[in-house]
Structure 1
Amino acid sequence: MRNRSRLRALLSGLLAVALAAPVRAEDGPNVSIIRDAEIEQLLRDYTKPVLEAAGIHTGAARIILVGDRSFNAFVADGQKIFVNVGALIEAKTPNEIIGVLAHESGHIAGGHLARGRQELARAAILSVAGMLASAGAIFAARGAFSRPNASVGMDSGGAVGILMGPQEAVKRSLLAYQRGEEQAADRMAVRFLTATRQSAKGMLETFNRFASETLFKSSTIDPYLQSHPLPNERISNLRQAAEQSPFFETQDPPALQARHDLMRAKLIGFTGDVGEVGRRYPVSDLSLPARYARVIADNRFGRLDEALAGADALIAAQPKNPYFWELKGQFLLEAGRAAQAIAPLRKAAGLAGPNATPIRVLLGHALVASDNPAYTDEAIKVLANATQRDEDSSEAWEFLSMAYFRKGDGAKAQLAAAEGLFVAGKYIEARTQASRAQTQFKEGSPGWLKADDILTYRPPGSE
């Protein structure tokens, strides 16, 4: 049993390498998921035509922002595309990010995650067989050593080497499989971009960037121990396919580039230090993106009056931009002025439309935090709508629980709290709240059943 457990752990690790190579397990607790209505909508606009060209249902795929400044994106958990904010910051054009998203869509369209699991199962069988054969060789050798006058010896290191040999072969096999899938995703990405009359030049520029970085230099790399093709090989193959497209020189629409520039400025304003914001957007730069970044930085670094004045100036420049209204509301809410934040957040929610869940969660937060009973019903309506559109928003459930509590509805308050804890992965606490809620609902009612779902759920590997 002990050896089998070790083998299972090894193969699970290889699956992570093969299917999401840039993510390290130890990084998990330090990586945050970022919610932002403006960026999410822009990425949906980038991805929709590509997904349609790939034959992927646009409602099933989801893009998730990862709070990591490295340039990276990957697919995991079915049809979820994870994009690091570092990729969005460093990509100077929409086309660069669209190329990355097209590549990840190629993984989804190609069924690479599902086939990767099949490859892993096959590798498990091969590895077990190899380990058994190696063990047999060791036992035979030990039999020889036990005979009188044996002249050949083997230390424990040699035995471990024989056992590790098949596992190393399996690792190389899985990585070779991974490299093949990466190249297939590249080819599909070019096809999707051509079908949508877009250029693959952005993809090419992205891989050129990788090739120029020390991490991706291949002079001392064993090509058989890489999960991705080596940069020079990859660029050569991609260039040939990309340049054959009649849309290779196609430029991004100016309006899309303008939105991209605002997105980058927003991320730098929220994640950069004073030096980076000042270097990228000096006060002499009066462009809208530069002002956007500096206004956000003003609020982050304690200059609230300047931040609010800057937000008003942004609104004056683009009165129908919902994200400038959202920014003002956020500044006021974070400053403890929840009642004043409600009006700009209502305006933002109205301009952004129903898909802007993060704005609606922010509005619900402000309505609850205002401590005004007159806003309780509105808070419940706004937050209930947000949870229906996005069940994974733990904040929406948390504030909805508070609103129900204000309303005096303890059963729904505890059930909403349980839902929020469940989404956050706090299963023990979620079951405690669900148990309390269930006793207050009629058996078999929708609330009782929702509570029961939480009580009976067991996360994978907990059995």
Structure 2
Amino acid sequence: MFAYFGRLRRWFGRGDRFAATRVSRGPARHRSLKLRTAAILTAALTFTASASPAAAQGLIRDAEIENLMQDYAGPILEAAGLGSQNINIHLVNSESFNAFVVDGRNMFIHVGAIMQASTPNQLIGVIAHEAGHIAGGHLSRLRTLMQRAQSASLMLQLLSIAAAAAGAATGAGGDAAQAGQALALGGQTALMNTIMAYRRAEEYAADQAAVTYLNRTEQSGRGMIEVLEFFAERELASVGVVNPYSRTHPISRDRIQQMKQLVRQSPYYDKRDPKELRRRHALARAKLDGFMNKRNPQAVFNKYPQSDDSLPARYARAIARNFAAGVDAALPEINALIETQPNNPYFRELKGQFLLESGQVKQAIPPLKKAVELAPDAGLIRIMLAQALLAEGGKPNLNAAVDHLRKALVTEDKSATGYRQLAIAYGRLGRIADAELASAQAYFYEGKLKLAKEQAERAKAGFPPHSASWVKADDIVNFEPPQR
């Protein structure tokens, strides 16, 4: 299920609540300042030097691409000693090449990084770099440095200066850079330089850690060099003479020299990605091209002309055809994909998704059922199948929808959409207390705590005291957000 979600959200507390960032009410200029500050904090550790990577962007959910990212990341996280931390990888709806971490449990990858990475190895190198930040505890130490500032005003100055330096590193410029440069003139240069030097040291440390993880997993570090060379070309095109000591990230050409010395010593330097991984990577890039250009399908047809008979090209064209002319026009191409790879669950998912979105609910159910059969652990596909079953109606379909949703929510346990669909199914079956509890859980993961508590309070009355469902409702009723 390739789906777009709203504005990028931030994890709160112990990671058990996915809630929208709250911005206090007040004069517009104050809200803007708080938003910029939050954006810069979110961007604290990034592979590139973007001032606020995707801070206001949305997230994308897709079973196929998320599964690929987990396969890329799994061996690296194990090598970094992070395999037991259940690190989540999120896809950010931005076509820029970037990745970043905000804490020890969440990694964010712009879909642009996937689209622009020509090999799996390039993206795996980026993931390894971000794993180095997590394993090194860099974000928490950066926050400690920030907290040493003697006033909130000084902290805002440091954050603004960091944004300016990051903007200069990519030629981003803009209001944040101008504000940061103005603040820099006000003093505090020594403390700012200390923090910037610390950040540059962290980037070098993350590079070194990444090479270590790649060696442990018997993978090449060549992709990291290729990515840094890509950034270096951008620097040459967009930046004049910039003081390297005012940067949060080392200049790419300096990093390249260091990386070449490290990577070329590896016995795996010339090792290529497995053929199957390259195939999946090409399909993911094609899929992203198709969906990200939904408003301009002709761009996809130009990039993947009819003369290109490769599977990725056919995949991209089938998606673009749906957006250009509707599902009926796209079905022959999608069916041809399925015929080529009958055991590929994502081709069948694509067929079901486009049929469902076009209102052909009954026709959508068989391919979605087959997709679930082929990928039983893909919770997102189960949720889509449940949506189709609910839309078709009838008690057997309602019971089947409940079964699929309960299985999906084992892995998609923070899916407000999943809980919302479960509430609908329970309501139609007359299971009111269960519907109220599922609705409370949906509100909870949407960050609507007041509504979640109200629904949970009603749900408690319908369950035996201290039963499993009663306890779940009670947990929501008594939940208090961590103090920030």
Q: Taking structure 1 as reference, are residues 23 and 247 closer, same or farther at Cα in structure 2, changes over 3 Å only?
A: same
The one-letter code matched in structure 1 to 2:136 is G
Residues 1:65 and 2:91 are matched in the alignment: yes
The answer to whether the 8 Å contact 1:376/1:407 transfers is yes
Specify the alignment match of 1:305 in structure 2. 328
| Paired residues for 1:110-259 under 5 Å | 110-124=136-150, 164-166=186-188, 168-214=189-235, 217-259=238-280
Mapped partners of 2:223, 2:184: distance in 1: 46
> Deviations for 1:323-351, whole angstroms, at most 9, x for unmatched residues?
11111111111111222211111111111
Mapped partners of 2:196, 2:185: distance in 1: 20
Q: Percent identity?
A: 45
Specify the alignment match of 2:103 in structure 1. 77
Mapped partners of 2:131, 2:481: distance in 1: 28
Mapped partners of 1:340, 1:161: distance in 2: 61
SS in 2 for 1:82: strand
Q: 1:332 aligns with which of 347, 355, 358?
A: 355
The answer to whether the 8 Å contact 2:40/2:51 transfers is no
Mapped partners of 1:304, 1:162: distance in 2: 55
> Deviations for 1:392-418, whole angstroms, at most 9, x for unmatched residues?
212111111111111111111121112
Mapped partners of 2:52, 2:183: distance in 1: 26
Residues 1:321 and 2:344 are matched in the alignment: yes
> Deviations for 1:228-273, whole angstroms, at most 9, x for unmatched residues?
1111111111111111111111111111111110010001011122
Mapped partners of 1:28, 1:218: distance in 2: 23
Residues 1:18 and 2:39 are matched in the alignment: no
CA drift of 1:320 comes to: 0.6
| Paired residues for 1:367-382 under 5 Å | 367-382=389-404
Specify the alignment match of 1:50 in structure 2. 76
Specify the alignment match of 1:275 in structure 2. 298
The answer to whether the 8 Å contact 1:19/1:116 transfers is no
Specify the alignment match of 1:138 in structure 2. none
The answer to whether the 8 Å contact 1:349/1:360 transfers is yes
SS in 2 for 1:34: strand
The answer to whether the 8 Å contact 1:72/1:86 transfers is yes
SS in 1 for 2:370: helix
TM-score, with length taken from structure 1: 0.84
Q: Taking structure 1 as reference, are residues 11 and 290 closer, same or farther at Cα in structure 2, changes over 3 Å only?
A: closer
Mapped partners of 1:300, 1:421: distance in 2: 32
The answer to whether the 8 Å contact 1:380/1:404 transfers is yes
Mapped partners of 1:415, 1:75: distance in 2: 33
Mapped partners of 1:126, 1:407: distance in 2: 54
Segment drifting more, 51-60 vs 262-271:
51-60
> Deviations for 1:279-325, whole angstroms, at most 9, x for unmatched residues?
22111111110010011111123321121111111010001111111
Mapped partners of 1:201, 1:14: distance in 2: 30
Structure 2: give runs of 5+ residues left out of the alignment: 1-29, 158-181
The answer to whether the 8 Å contact 1:412/1:437 transfers is yes
The one-letter code matched in structure 2 to 1:255 is E
> Deviations for 1:47-71, whole angstroms, at most 9, x for unmatched residues?
1111111111256112111111111
TM-score, with length taken from structure 2: 0.81
CA drift of 1:115 comes to: 2.1
Mapped partners of 1:266, 1:177: distance in 2: 39
> Deviations for 1:207-227, whole angstroms, at most 9, x for unmatched residues?
111111158855332323322
Q: Taking structure 1 as reference, are residues 447 and 115 closer, same or farther at Cα in structure 2, changes over 3 Å only?
A: same
Residues 1:421 and 2:431 are matched in the alignment: no
Matched residue count: 424
CA drift of 1:128 comes to: 7.3
The one-letter code matched in structure 1 to 2:355 is L
Specify the alignment match of 2:453 in structure 1. 431
Specify the alignment match of 2:282 in structure 1. 261
The answer to whether the 8 Å contact 2:40/2:52 transfers is no
Mapped partners of 1:14, 1:269: distance in 2: 31
Residues 1:284 and 2:307 are matched in the alignment: yes
The one-letter code matched in structure 1 to 2:58 is S
> Deviations for 1:19-69, whole angstroms, at most 9, x for unmatched residues?
3563628x544x121111111111111111111111112561121111111
| RCO higher in structure (CA 8 A, sep ≥6) | 2
Q: Taking structure 1 as reference, are residues 48 and 216 closer, same or farther at Cα in structure 2, changes over 3 Å only?
A: farther
Segment drifting more, 48-57 vs 217-226:
217-226
CA drift of 1:75 comes to: 1.0
The answer to whether the 8 Å contact 1:14/1:174 transfers is no
CA drift of 1:428 comes to: 3.0
Higher helix share: 1
Q: Taking structure 1 as reference, are residues 421 and 245 closer, same or farther at Cα in structure 2, changes over 3 Å only?
A: same
Specify the alignment match of 1:392 in structure 2. 414
The answer to whether the 8 Å contact 2:44/2:139 transfers is no
Q: 1:296 aligns with which of 319, 334, 342?
A: 319
The one-letter code matched in structure 2 to 1:178 is R
Q: Taking structure 1 as reference, are residues 95 and 233 closer, same or farther at Cα in structure 2, changes over 3 Å only?
A: same
Q: 2:125 aligns with which of 91, 99, 103?
A: 99
Q: Taking structure 1 as reference, are residues 263 and 108 closer, same or farther at Cα in structure 2, changes over 3 Å only?
A: same
CA drift of 1:13 comes to: 7.1
Specify the alignment match of 1:144 in structure 2. none
CA drift of 1:353 comes to: 2.9
The answer to whether the 8 Å contact 1:46/1:98 transfers is yes
